[in-house]
Amino acid sequence: MSSLYKSPGVHIESAGDRYIPLERVETGVTAFLGATARGPRNEPTRLGSFEQYERVFGAGDDFMSHAVRGFFDNGGRTAYILNVAPAGGLDPAPDDFIGQQGTEVRGLQALERIEHVDLLVAPDLMFQYGRSVAFQDPGQVLAVQRAMIEHCEKLHDRFCLLDALPGHDLEQAIDWRRQFDSSHASFYFPWIKVRKGEEVLAPVPPSGHIAGMIARNDKVEGVHRAPANQPLEGLVDVAQRLRRRDRDHAFDHRVNTLVPFAGRGIRIWGARTLSSDPAFVQINVRRLFILVRKSVEKYAQWVVFEPNEPSLWKKMVRSIDVFLGDLWKEGALVGAAQDEAYYVKCDEETNPPEARDAGELICEIGISPVKPAEFRGIRIWGARTLSSDPAFVQINVRRLFILVRKSVEKYAQWVVFEPNEPSLWKKMVRSIDVFLGDLWKEGALVGAAQDEAYYVKCDEETNPPEARDAGELICEIGISPVKPAEFIVIRIHQWTRERTDEDKEVAPAAAAAAG
């Protein structure tokens, strides 16, 4: 019995007066589309481990099995498996994936009713290409991938990860990617190599492993953190190693690459969608919008059929405001104050009489999502040409600048794809300041005090809004390097007067020179 009630009797409480919290929906729930060895057909089946997958659908050396294993190895928690294999042991066709023909609900159509899904992959599509009689032409793969994107855009609540075709090199992958333009999808290259027992297998598509990493990232960091620069588990190598300029070239074309780093594992280097819309080029921005949309839609179910009046609007605004305020506190939204990071509007202006008469309730939400630092700009002042500028003629000066630049660039690897906001800038300044301070203490920099020997600047002045919108993070460093004594000048003067007693007190070296 509630402590509010002091005596026996009937107590009436209005449920409508209570605060109804807006709960955040689960993210990283991944649907796997493809044919399996056995198991229910066209019936999305929820799983929580690879062992469950083996029991229900069987496992082998097919791409689907490796992708599901990679999903759970990388931190995935919940997966839905949709087996599109036709009856009678026939090879799957594009329509089995898409679900366009016939009266049976199948393929992507069968996934529409699963509200929890927010990621979609189809690694088996690449397994069928070249093996199934119905997948002998690249255009058939293209049709399925386009259908996956349309599925995500239609429902507004999910995001798909696309694999490159088998055997494609980087230029072919870029050409393939050019056929898509959507903020509800991303594209990855190259394929990965996985191990089973002691044997390194042939390359497999990476989408399942990446989906698991994204799910892990959502849990640990949050949806707003770019799903990149994180290690992938359960793989041995990449199918093709890319040089730095190749990675830059891929990035320019919105192809996210998988890159091995010495001592840091294989990481995803890029968090771009396939969209040409500057507002939605980052995966984390689109997925943050999906999170907000799905969470608000789920919360608003209780509002249906409630009296459409100001008291209801205020309840909605209050709940949504608390939800968005929590996202802001977690660093998902940009703004020095909450009213700079988001707004919620549900009043007579958004709900005029004609809208209310039509049974509509309109709530307007605006958010300012944080964007990742994709490019690190490091400016080191003082370096000029080696050959003609007197400020830079010494070898040690040039090599000191090289040391500083390489050390800072190596350190800044962890910064890439982190939320580009003041807290990140402060961390960088603090670390670089300690590094340069040590150089000053060692005598590598000139100055009576540290602020005379160097400076580090990474703030709103070096990172204006237009730079941050472009994914740039600019840190400015100035150093004053110590220079060597290259020419020792000894001046010898001839005495033109008699020596006095005062002259006898001069230092022996000077006296010898004078004599």
User: For residue 72, what is the domain's CATH number?
Assistant: 3.40.50.11780
379: pLDDT confidence band, cut at 50, 70 and 90?
low
Per-residue pLDDT, 14: 47
Q: What is the pLDDT of residue 497?
A: 53
pTM of the model: 0.81
Residue 6: band (very low, low, confident or very high) from pLDDT cuts 50, 70, 90: low
What average pLDDT does this structure show over 96-105? 81
Instruction: Grade residue 13 by pLDDT with cuts at 50, 70 and 90.
Output: very low
* Pairing status of strand 30-34 against strand 119-121: parallel
Q: Is 15 within the bounds of a domain?
A: no
- 217 & 338 share domain: no
Average pLDDT, integer, range 344-363:
92
277 and 310 co-located in one domain = no
User: What is residue 83's predicted lDDT score, i.e. its pLDDT?
Assistant: 96
417 close to 370: Cβ distance less than 8 angstroms: no
- When pLDDT is cut at 50, 70 and 90, the band that residue 195 belongs to is confident
**Do 91 and 233 fall into the same domain?**
yes
d(CA 515, CA 513): 5
What is residue 291's predicted lDDT score, i.e. its pLDDT?
A: 97
| 444 band by pLDDT with thresholds 50, 70 and 90 | confident
Specify the range with the lowest mean pLDDT, choosing from 9-23, 101-115, 174-188, 286-300. 9-23
Q: Residue 385: its pLDDT value, please?
A: 35
DSSP 388: T
Confidence grade of residue 20 (pLDDT, cut at 50, 70, 90) = confident
pLDDT, position 380: 52
The answer to whether 59 and 67 have CB atoms below 8 angstroms apart is no
pLDDT exceeds cutoff 90 at 253:
yes
**Averaged over 74-93, what is the pLDDT?**
92
Domain match, 219 and 103 both: yes
SS3 for 369?
strand
pLDDT tens for each residue of 115-158? 999 999 999 999 999 888 889 999 999 999 999 999 999 999 99
Mean pLDDT along residues 89-109: 86
Task: Let me know if residue 118 belongs to a domain.
Answer: yes
What DSSP element (H or E) covers 298? helix 283-299
Report if residue 106 sits inside a domain: yes
Has residue 183 got a pLDDT over 80?
yes
Instruction: Look up the domain containing 167 and give its range.
Output: 30-281
Sequence-distant contacts of 483-490: CB under 8 A, at least 24 apart: 483/394, 483/396, 483/397, 483/446, 484/394, 484/396, 486/394
Co-location of 429 and 361 in the same domain: no
Q: Report whether pLDDT(472) > 90.
A: no
Both 274 and 333 in a single domain?
A: no
227 and 330 in contact (C-beta within 8 Å)? no
Beta strand pairing call for 185-189 and 256-261: parallel
Q: Both 407 and 324 in a single domain?
A: no
pLDDT at 90 exceeding the cut of 90: no
* Total domains present in the chain: 3
Give me the phi and psi of 209, to 5 degrees please.
-60, -40
The per-residue pLDDT for 329 is 95
Please name the residue that has the structure tokens 């050409």.
Answer: 175
Half-sphere exposure of 113 (CA within 13 A, CB side): 10
376 Cβ partners below 8 Å, 6+ apart? 409, 412, 415, 416, 473, 475
State the pLDDT confidence band at 292, using cuts at 50, 70 and 90: very high
Residues 170, 203, single domain; the answer is yes
pLDDT single digits (tens) 199-251: 777 899 999 999 999 999 999 999 999 999 999 999 999 999 999 999 999 99
Q: Which two tokens stand for residue 354?
A: 């004609």
With respect to residue 125, please indicate whether it lies within any of the assigned structural domains. yes
On whether the CB atoms of residues 263 and 414 are closer than 8 A, the answer is no
| Arithmetic mean of pLDDT over the chain | 87
505, pLDDT greater than 60: no
Report if residue 277 sits inside a domain.
yes
Average pLDDT over residues 53-60: 92
In this structure, is residue 474 part of a structural domain? yes
Structural domain includes residue 491:
no
Indicate whether 198 pLDDT > 80. no
pLDDT score of 383: 37
Which carries the bigger pLDDT value, residue 327 or residue 379?
A: 327
- Checking if the pLDDT of 69 tops 70, the result is yes
Query: Among candidates 289, 279, 295, which has minimal Cα distance to 333?
Result: 289
Position 330 pLDDT exceeds 70: yes
99-121 average pLDDT score: 89
Say if residue 55 is in the same domain as residue 184.
yes
Is the pLDDT at 513 greater than 60? The verdict is no
- So what's the pLDDT on residue 88? 80
Helices and strands per DSSP (H, E), number in the chain: 18, 16
What whole-number distance in Å separates Cα of residue 204 and Cα of residue 309? 56
pLDDT at 18 over 70: no
Based on the fold, state whether residues 345 and 402 are members of the same structural domain: no
pLDDT greater at residue 510 or residue 464: 464
Handedness of CA 46, 48, 50, 56 (dihedral sign): negative
160 and 253 fall within a common domain: yes
CA dist 81 and 317 (Å) reads 37
Q: Which pLDDT score, from 0 to 100, does residue 500 have?
A: 56
User: What is the reported pLDDT for 24?
Assistant: 95
Nearest to 140, CA basis, from 159, 158, 122: 122
Q: Are residues 99 and 213 in the same domain?
A: yes
In a domain, 351, yes or no: yes
**pLDDT tens profile 384-396:** 333 455 555 677 7
